[in-house]
Structure 1
């Protein structure tokens, strides 16, 4: 169950980074909504990370949480912010996904 909580925390990390990016590119009330989304996602992500680390090893949980956030943020950048999807970016994203899966596989929990 705590692995699921950790994955959801990572997805909220993607939410807060995406919200921050959208807030930068908007103005007025729309920008304020994106900053509000940032605050909600940040709070949820941290609360869920804290919950997950109550039974998962801190180093593993933090690395997986950060990895999910990094992969998700890069993918959101490619999809929504028109960042380049070069061969090397995709190779390293794939490597990062493999590392996240590897950490889960060797974890004792």
Structure 2
């Protein structure tokens, strides 16, 4: 169960990161509200997962999922360019997250 909560929390990390950018310095109400809610739930999920999983592993997986999805979102929306190096590095990051799950 902790792994499922951790993955959902990682996804919510990407949501709050995108909402933070869309809030334009907390000047737009809806993105600010989405940021606040997603951030709170994401942190609570990470805290829950850390009661069962090693702290370093849980944090690395949470950040890895959030960072990967945030970059993918940037690419999909056109805010970031797609490059071979970027795709390879994202694949390495995803592989590292999967590897942490396998060895934990």
The reply to whether TM is greater than 0.5 is yes
How far apart in 1 are the matches of 2:43 and 2:37? 10
Displacement of 1:70 in angstroms is 0.6
Return the TM-score normalized by structure 2: 0.94
> Matches of 2:72 and 2:21 in 1, distance apart?
13
Distance 1:81 1:33 in 2: 22
C-alpha distance after superposition, 1:48-107 (max 9, x if no partner): 000000000000000000000110110011112431011100000000000000000000
Structure 2: how far apart are the matches of 1:18 and 1:54?
27
- In the alignment, structure 2 segments of 5+ residues that lack a partner are none
Residue 32 and residue 80 in structure 1: after superposition, are their counterparts in 2 closer, same or farther (change >3 A)? same
TM-score by length of 1: 0.90
Moved over 4 A (4+): none
Q: Tell me whether 1:62 sits opposite 2:59 in the alignment.
A: yes
**What residue in structure 2 maps to residue 101 of structure 1?**
98
Report the Cα offset of residue 24 of structure 1: 2.0
Partner of 2:14: 14
Between structure 1 and structure 2, the one with the greater Rg is 1
**Structure 2 partner of 1:52:** 49
Over aligned residue pairs, what C-alpha RMSD do you find?
Answer: 1.6
**Partners of 2:19 and 2:11 in 1: CA distance:** 12
SS of the residue 1:84 aligns to: coil
Aligned positions of 1:15-34 closer than 5 A: 15-24=15-24, 31-34=28-31
Residues paired across the two proteins, number:
104
